[in-house]
């Protein structure tokens, strides 16, 4: 899996102060996508064990208390990303049990395959659905268009 940006202190993508990872790879091709540079799976940089370890350390760093991890992109549930994301969310739940995980995807919750569903079983909040330009509403929080749904799972 490749990623584009990792923000160890982020207050924009989800509630509270968070670590946020924007991964590479998205096949939804939404019209008006704000992040087209992330579509190719080979764009960005490799998500190495060192980056993953840094992310875990940041979540557990008590000097700046983070509420959790936000996973966006690109699409964290793109087939090229699912095995790395599953490993990551399992690790966060195991090693950072007091942190929540929010994940943004262009897929709909009811169309996820088995592996994607397994990832979702480890996260707290899923924001699903493609970005629909005609349903864009700048007053929405944590989603870009009205069709997208914030699923509070646990
Ligand atoms: S799902 Fe997100 S990253 Fe992918 S094309 Fe749509 S808006 Fe862009």
Residue ranges making up the domain that contains 25: 2-152
Nearest alpha carbon, ligand 1 atom 6: 30
Q: What is the tens place of the pLDDT at every residue in 15-29?
A: 999 999 999 999 999
* Helix, strand, coil in percent for the chain, rounding step 5: 25, 25, 50
Q: In this structure, what token pair is assigned to residue 73? A: 């992109």
Domain count, the chain: 1
Looking at residue 119, its pLDDT comes to 98
What is the average pLDDT score of the chain?
97
Q: Flag whether the pTM goes above 0.85.
A: yes
Domain CATH for 115: 3.20.20.70
Looking at residue 154, its pLDDT comes to 93
Looking at residue 22, its pLDDT comes to 98
Looking at residue 144, its pLDDT comes to 96
Q: What is the tens place of the pLDDT at every residue in 125-152?
A: 999 999 999 999 999 999 999 999 999 9
Ligand 1 contact via 76 beta carbon (within 6 Å): no
Using the mean position of ligand 1's atoms as its centre, give its distance from the Cα of residue 64 in Å: 30
Q: What is the tens place of the pLDDT at every residue in 74-84?
A: 999 999 999 99
| Cβ atoms of 116 and 108 closer than 8 Å | no
Which one of 3, 34, 131 would you pick to mutate in the ligand 1 pocket, going by the greatest count of ligand atoms within 8 A of its CB? Answer: 131
């Amino acid at each position: 899996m490749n990623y584009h940006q990792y923000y160890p202190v982020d207050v924009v993508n989800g509630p509270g102060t968070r670590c946020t990872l924007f991964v590479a790879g998205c096949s939804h091709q939404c019209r008006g996508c704000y992040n087209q540079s992330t579509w190719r799976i080979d764009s960005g940089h490799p998500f190495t064990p060192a980056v993953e370890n840094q992310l875990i350390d940041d979540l557990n760093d008590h000097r700046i208390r983070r509420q959790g991890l936000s996973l966006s992109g690109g699409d964290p549930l793109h087939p090229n990303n699912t095995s790395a994301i599953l490993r990551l969310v399992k690790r966060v739940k195991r090693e950072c049990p007091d942190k929540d995980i929010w994940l943004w995807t262009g897929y709909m919750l009811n169309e996820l395959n088995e592996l994607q569903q397994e990832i979702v079983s480890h996260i707290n909040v899923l924001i699903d659905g493609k970005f629909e330009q005609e349903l864009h509403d700048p007053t929405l929080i944590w989603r870009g268009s009205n069709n997208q749904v914030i699923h509070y799972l646990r």
